[in-house]
């Protein structure tokens, strides 16, 4: 194995979290595209890295006292990289706590709800013609966007004045709502002006732009 970090991913919002962090932190890594549409995630060699058969995964060749360390779950990968480098995770109690709170807000709330919205709004039309699921997850997504908007009204980034792994985790999902799900009108995205500002600033970062394209579809 190379001595570089090994990323196994696809450019979904969850995959983009990890590649953005790697680029922003200036870490050397090798990226391997896992085509989840063709079932790469279910191959035995991948399941050894990620028992849950999801992307992304990261292997640090020397992370376990000189031995390889495999990490699944995008939030865990972000936290591992932040602690490994000392970057994008504040060390003071308040800053660290707020960063982790907003990271977990994405992992437990925004990501799953935005994903369910996308499933019913974009993909499930031929399987479920009842309006309830789309209405439910539209309302859930708009509620979460409102929480983000209120937070960003008085903060440049989610954890305060400095960008952190919480922003790396959350912004790709908001971008997905517009670029991939084409839900600008459905979710009234332009009405969340502070989220708009934050996403625009996020996408202007060169490392973010590069990270968003790693393991592209």
Lowest mean pLDDT among 49-53, 103-107, 123-127, 203-207: 123-127
Q: Give the mean model confidence (pLDDT) for residues 125-131.
A: 87
Residue 126's pLDDT is what? 83
**Max CA pair span of the chain:** 54
Residue 1's pLDDT is what? 59
Q: Give the mean model confidence (pLDDT) for residues 133-156.
A: 98
Residue 57's pLDDT is what? 98
Burial classification of residue 149, based on how many CB atoms lie within 10 Å of its CB (0-12 exposed, 13-18 middle, 19 or more buried): middle
pLDDT tens digit string along 168-184? 999 999 999 999 999 99
pLDDT tens digit string along 36-79? 999 999 999 999 999 999 999 999 999 999 999 999 999 999 99
As assigned by CATH, the class of the 5-87 domain is alpha beta
Apex 111 CA angle, 4 and 137, nearest 5? 160
pLDDT tens digit string along 156-166? 999 999 999 99
Tokens found for residue 4 = 């570089």
Q: Give yes or no on whether 5-87 and 93-208 have one common fold.
A: no
Question: Which residues have a Cβ under 8 Å from the Cβ of 120 and sit 6 or more positions away?
Answer: 128, 133, 134, 137
Question: Which residues have a Cβ under 8 Å from the Cβ of 178 and sit 6 or more positions away?
Answer: 184, 189
Q: Is the pLDDT of residue 2 over 80?
A: no
Residue 125's pLDDT is what? 80
Q: Give the mean model confidence (pLDDT) for residues 95-99.
A: 98
Q: Give the mean model confidence (pLDDT) for residues 144-157.
A: 98
Spans of all domains in the chain:
5-87, 93-208
The topology under which CATH files domain 93-208 is Glutathione S-transferase Yfyf (Class Pi); Chain A, domain 2 (1.20.1050)
Residue 127's pLDDT is what? 87
pLDDT tens digit string along 11-42? 999 999 999 999 999 999 999 999 999 999 99
Q: Is the pLDDT of residue 9 over 90?
A: yes
Residue 14's pLDDT is what? 98
Cβ 214 vs Cβ 7: under 8 Å: yes
């Amino acid at each position: 194995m190379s001595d570089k970090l090994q990323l196994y991913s696809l450019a979904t919002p969850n995959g983009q979290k990890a590649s953005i962090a790697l680029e922003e932190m200036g870490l050397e890594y090798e990226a391997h595209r896992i085509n989840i549409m063709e079932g790469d995630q279910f191959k035995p060699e991948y399941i050894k890295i990620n028992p849950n058969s999801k992307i992304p995964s990261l292997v640090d060749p020397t992370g376990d006292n000189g031995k390889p360390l495999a990490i699944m779950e995008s939030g865990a990968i972000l936290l591992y990289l932040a602690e490994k480098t000392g970057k994008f995770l504040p060390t003071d109690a308040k800053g660290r706590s707020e960063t982790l709170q907003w990271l977990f807000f994405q992992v437990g709330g925004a990501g799953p709800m935005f994903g369910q919205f996308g499933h019913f709004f974009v993909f499930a039309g031929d399987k479920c013609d009842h309006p309830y699921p789309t209405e439910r997850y539209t309302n859930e997504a708009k509620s979460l966007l409102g929480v983000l908007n209120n937070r960003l009204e008085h903060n440049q980034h989610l954890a305060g004045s400095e960008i952190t792994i919480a922003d790396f985790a959350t912004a790709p999902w908001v971008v997905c709502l517009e670029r991939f799900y084409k839900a600008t009108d459905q979710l009234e995205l332009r009405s969340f002006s502070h989220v708009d500002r934050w996403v625009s600033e996020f996408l202007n970062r060169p490392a973010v732009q590069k990270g968003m394209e790693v393991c592209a579809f």
